[in-house]
């Protein structure tokens, strides 16, 4: 009986540890306002890959690449899912990302509200291959 109780305790501790482990890309825990990032922090991407963020469904936002906000008319949005993305191309501000390290930030705020003077933000870095 005691052995069964010990096994049960060990199993519960294992389940708790797995539930609390950091499985986010790059080992960073994302804030509860962000569901996922594209690319994940530290990822190596191709020069014409898509970048973006999947926010909590009640939020909206914009992307800032290397300190420059991507124009609204070049962002791809899935409003009900609070996804915002950018893909370089011939009809975009950038045809392709330059090789090397880049910093990407997402600025976010409540959907249906005016953009505040100081919106929430999250930034990460990624790399572009040649």
**Multiple choice CATH, 28-128, 3.40.50.150, 2.40.50.100, 3.40.50.300, 2.60.40.1220:** 2.60.40.1220
Segment 24-50 mean pLDDT: 88
Of 49 and 2, the structure prediction assigns the larger pLDDT to 49
Is the pLDDT at 122 greater than 50, yes or no?
yes
Is the pLDDT at 6 greater than 50, yes or no?
no
Segment 103-128 mean pLDDT: 97
Considering the chain, what percentage of its residues have pLDDT values greater than 90?
Answer: 75
Per-residue burial over 94-127, b = 16 or more CB atoms within 10 Å of its CB, e = otherwise: beebeeeebebbbbbbeeeeeeeeeebebebebe
Every domain of the chain and the residues it spans: 28-128
């Amino acid at each position: 009986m005691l052995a069964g109780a010990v096994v049960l305790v060990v199993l519960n501790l294992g389940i708790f540890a797995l539930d609390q482990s950091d499985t986010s890309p790059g080992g960073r825990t994302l804030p509860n306002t962000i569901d996922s990032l594209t690319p994940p922090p530290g990822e190596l991407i191709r020069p014409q890959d898509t970048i973006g963020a999947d926010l909590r469904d009640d939020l909206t936002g914009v992307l800032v690449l290397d300190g420059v906000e991507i124009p609204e008319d070049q962002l791809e949005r899935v409003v009900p899912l609070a996804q915002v993305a950018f893909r370089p191309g011939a009809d975009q501000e950038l045809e392709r990302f330059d090789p090397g390290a880049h910093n990407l930030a997402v600025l976010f705020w409540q959907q249906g509200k005016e953009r505040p003077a100081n919106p929430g933000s999250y930034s990460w870095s990624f790399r572009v291959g040649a």
